[in-house]
């Protein structure tokens, strides 16, 4: 695998997230990430699923039991915003370990920086660039991002900062 | 424009197996020619070699980004323009 920069990786992740947004056909927030996982594109029938768990160890994690459908195991008592972000984050693991993801070469490209990539991917899946642009143009402010897009406040702040830097690169 | 076309192609590849199949079969040119790339870029992107689709996408990003940056540089006016008074510029143009 060729070495790639963080900027290149981020561009690639933004495009992948946009692909799923296009599939969903949503024009306004909030992006229904749980619906995407429960009714995935046919390509990911055996990769996307959601299983509620009682756990104090983690918020969510993707696992693929042998010969079974891959699923995101998510803590049942999370706040709705935290749940959405955790599901969106773990969606990247589902993608890169899927048959199609492996055929694309996602595993080799993204595994070395999986945690950082997954957080970045989640923030663009839940707050797509065109929607945030429209929100901004309509006078939306930083403090309203979390509520409008239904994501945790810290993630909203980070996404707002990215909007003023990364989103304006190609 | 070209970057938008590439963004769309990579976005499409996550839900459309046809893109990766075309790449794996050495037929990415068929997909590229349908998109809004210049003839030169189309030719370059059609003959890029990569070990995987993801790697191809990154290499394509580098080409398209470099091409768009070159285009912006070409469109910029000469730094000398605007420093010369209008009369002098007119004389120069007449002499040319």
The token pair that represents A163 in the structure block: 């909007």
Cα separation of A60 and A18, whole Å? 23
Q: Which residues from chain B sit within 8 angstroms of residue A16, using beta carbons? A: 10-11, 14
Q: Which tokens sit at A160? A: 């707002």
- Average pLDDT score over residue span A159-170: 78
Nearest residue of chain B to residue A24 (CA atoms): B15
Lowest mean pLDDT among A51-55, A60-64, A165-169, B80-84: B80-84
Question: For chain B, what percent of residues have pLDDT higher than 90?
Answer: 61
Quick one: which H or E segment has residue B57?
helix B53-75
Is residue B44 classed exposed, middle or buried when 0-12, 13-18 and 19+ CB atoms within 10 A define those classes? Answer: middle
Place of tokens 């929100």: A135
What digits encode the pLDDT tens for the residues A105-134? 999 999 999 999 999 999 999 999 999 999
CB A72 within 8 A of CB A87: yes
**A160/A145 Cα distance (integer angstroms):** 8
Contact: B57, A170; criterion CB under 8 Å: no
pTM, to two decimals: 0.88
What chain A residue is nearest to B19 in terms of C-alpha separation?
A104
Q: Say if the ipTM goes beyond 0.90.
A: yes
């Amino acid at each position: 695998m060729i070495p790639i920069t963080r900027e290149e990786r981020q561009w690639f992740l933004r495009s992948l997230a946009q692909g799923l947004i296009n599939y969903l056909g949503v024009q306004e927030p909030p992006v229904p990430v749980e619906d995407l996982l429960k009714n995935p594109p046919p390509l990911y029938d055996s990769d996307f699923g959601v299983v509620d768990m009682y756990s104090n160890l983690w918020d969510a994690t993707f696992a693929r039991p042998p010969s079974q459908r891959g699923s995101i195991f998510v803590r049942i008592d999370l706040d709705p915003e935290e749940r959405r972000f955790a599901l969106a984050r773990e969606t990247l693991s589902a993608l890169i370990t899927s048959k199609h993801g492996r055929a694309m070469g996602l595993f080799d490209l993204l595994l070395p920086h999986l945690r950082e990539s997954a957080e970045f991917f989640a923030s663009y899946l839940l707050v797509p660039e065109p929607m945030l642009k429209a929100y901004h143009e309509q006078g939306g402010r930083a403090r309203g991002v979390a509520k409008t897009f239904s994501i945790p406040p810290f993630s909203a702040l980070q996404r707002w900062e990215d909007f003023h830097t990364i989103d304006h690169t190609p | 424009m070209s970057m938008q076309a590439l963004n769309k192609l990579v976005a499409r590849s996550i839900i459309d197996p046809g893109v990766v199949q075309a790449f794996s079969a050495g037929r990415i040119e068929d997909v590229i020619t349908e998109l809004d790339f210049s003839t030169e870029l189309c030719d370059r992107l059609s003959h890029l070699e990569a070990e995987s689709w993801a790697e191809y996408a990154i290499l394509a990003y580098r080409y398209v980004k470099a091409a768009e940056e070159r285009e912006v540089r070409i469109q910029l006016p000469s730094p000398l323009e605007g420093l010369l008074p209008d009369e002098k510029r007119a004389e120069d143009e007449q002499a040319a």
